[in-house]
Structure 1
Amino acid sequence: MRPSLFEFAGGEPAFLALARAHHARCLADPELNHPFSHPDQHPLHVERLAAYWAEVMGGPPRYSESCGDHTGMLVMHAGNGDMSDLGARFVDCFVHAADDAQLPGDPEFRAALRAYMEWAVGQVLSYPDRETVPGEMPMPQWSWDGLRR
């Protein structure tokens, strides 16, 4: 049986490295810098991001146990107006951050990561305001074959 994407990546240390690398890339990007450099950003943003991605990819439920569900994440990012131009940049930073974090270079693994992030960005961009986000959405579960639920 194939390991989860979480296990294949290297577990929690790999996702923390990925979140740190992604955050650094977004800060370095002239367009993404603004949303990533807000002074009111949670002090554990990177750690929470790592926990979210890890859980989605088959890791322990640390994010949902301490921070909320998928709805909470979407509400947090909704209401920022049309940010569709930033979506591709965000995905690009994520893909390159996987290199920076030295995640496995296996083509199927990398394709699964990209597919997830493209789906996730689509999710975030589909809610232009907080009122349109449905309540109590469970955490997504992403596998080698895509979204499981």
Structure 2
Amino acid sequence: MTASDVPTRDALTLYEHVGGEAGVRRLVESWYPTVLADPLLQQLFGAGHDDHIPHLTAFLAEVFGGPRVYTERLGGFPALLEHHSGLGIDEEQRRRFVELFLAAADRVGWPDDERTRTALVEYLEFGTEVAAQNSHARSEHDLHPCQEVPVWEW
């Protein structure tokens, strides 16, 4: 970890507080192998994809107040919607996804202060609910009302 990766108490965004892109990437890199190995989630993720870690890193960086790389260069919300379409994510899978993400946050030493963890849990609950609803949508009318990359403020 370099000096620029160290979270500060004066950070303006969650993205800055968790160490910017490097902090988000560490979290995603720790989490991703766990879903590929998890019997409940592996069916959603298959064998994995080479671009999943950088794409999810860009997505979460944007959600947490970082650069808009996911929206501006990687297809934005329409690309995310396409990836979840037809997956049929159920409640048990949604909850496991959140559980594994929080365990990864602990493993990589993400800040565990109440403000950070509350924001992380609230976003994960929201984001997985959006993904689950959209994964069952048969038409545009069935989609979750959130149809853009949210910016999660704390």
Whether TM-score is above 0.5 comes out as: yes
Once the two structures are overlaid, the 10-residue window that deviates more, 46-55 or 25-34, is: 25-34
Alignment match of 1:12 (pick from 21, 31, 38): 21
Shift of 1:138: 2.7
Structure 1 partner of 2:32: 23
Q: Structure 1 stretches of 5 or more lacking a match?
A: 145-149
Q: Is the 8 A contact 2:133 2:144 kept in 1?
A: no
Q: Is the 8 A contact 1:91 1:117 kept in 2?
A: yes
Structure 1 distance, partners of 2:49, 2:145, is 22
Shift of 1:42: 3.5
Alignment match of 1:105 (pick from 94, 102, 112): 112
Aligned-pair RMSD on alpha carbons? 2.1
Shift of 1:76: 1.3
Structure 2 distance, partners of 1:123, 1:116, is 10
Count of residues in correspondence between the two structures = 142
Q: Is the 8 A contact 2:71 2:149 kept in 1?
A: yes
Q: Is the 8 A contact 2:64 2:151 kept in 1?
A: yes
Shift of 1:113: 0.3
Q: Secondary structure at 2:123's aligned position in 1?
A: helix
Structure 1 distance, partners of 2:88, 2:133, is 10
Structure 1 partner of 2:127: 120
In structure 2, do the counterparts of structure 1 residues 129 and 53 end up closer, same or farther at CA, with 3 Å as the change threshold?
Answer: same
Letter in 2 for 1:64: T
Q: Is the 8 A contact 1:55 1:61 kept in 2?
A: yes
Structure 2 partner of 1:131: 139
Shift of 1:82: 4.7
In structure 2, do the counterparts of structure 1 residues 130 and 5 end up closer, same or farther at CA, with 3 Å as the change threshold?
Answer: farther
Structure 1 distance, partners of 2:138, 2:80, is 11
Among all aligned residue pairs of Structure 1 and Structure 2, give the percentage whose two residues are the same amino acid. Answer: 33
Q: TM-score, normalised by structure 1?
A: 0.85
